[in-house]
Amino acid sequence: MARVKLTDDLKKAISGLSHKEKDKLLFRLIAKEPTLAEQLVFKLLEDGTSAEDRRNDLAKEIEEFLHAYQKYYYSPGYLLLDLRSISGKITQHVKTTKDKYGEVFLNFLMLNKALALFGDKIAKVRPNRSRTLNKYVVNRAIKLLGLLRKIHEDYQLDFSDNMIALGQHIQRIDAMKRMADEFELDLELLLSGEIEA
């Protein structure tokens, strides 16, 4: 939805409304913006202190979903759709809580868990059938390295094992490894488990 530029006259008129009228308008507008409503729940009702609880709940949801999906796995394409859905939930969590640590943690969890559970199946399909999934994983790994560089170095150490695991998963799938080379993902950096200073 396009943003509307408010004129000074309109701002002045809105400011002149009674509190009751302002509240009524505000409630109507917030109801149309789910992200804003969730941010307000987090800030006002949870005092902005529930980011870790929300992160842990989402981590549990991701793990349970991927384990349950094992029964229904059909192809890399369908797995990609589900990873994008999970990624949307992670993005929503970050928009709501501004949890940068959680963004890294949850993305590593999603990729490592998916590749641990489905890596062998992905490796067995023809490369053209897994190309889009491989590209998604490699691009997500590149993004994760960028996010890691932005967080405090003490927190970077928390993700050393995750980095190594992701590097190993990518390396085991030939087509994904070739995609990593094509997109210049630094696998050696992932496998080292350390972000350079």
Q: What is the helix, strand, coil percentage profile of the chain, to 5?
A: 80, 0, 20
CB 37 within 8 A of CB 31: yes
pLDDT at 103: 96
CA distances from 11 to 8, 18, 21 (A): 5, 14, 14
**Which element (helix H / strand E) includes 68?**
helix 51-69
Where do the structural domains in the chain lie, given as residue ranges? 7-47, 50-192
The model's pTM is 0.86
* Model confidence pLDDT, tens digit, residues 2-49: 677 888 888 888 888 888 888 888 888 888 888 888 888 888 887 878
* Model confidence pLDDT, tens digit, residues 97-110: 999 999 999 999 99
pLDDT band at residue 60 under the 50/70/90 scheme: very high
- Residue type for position 105: F
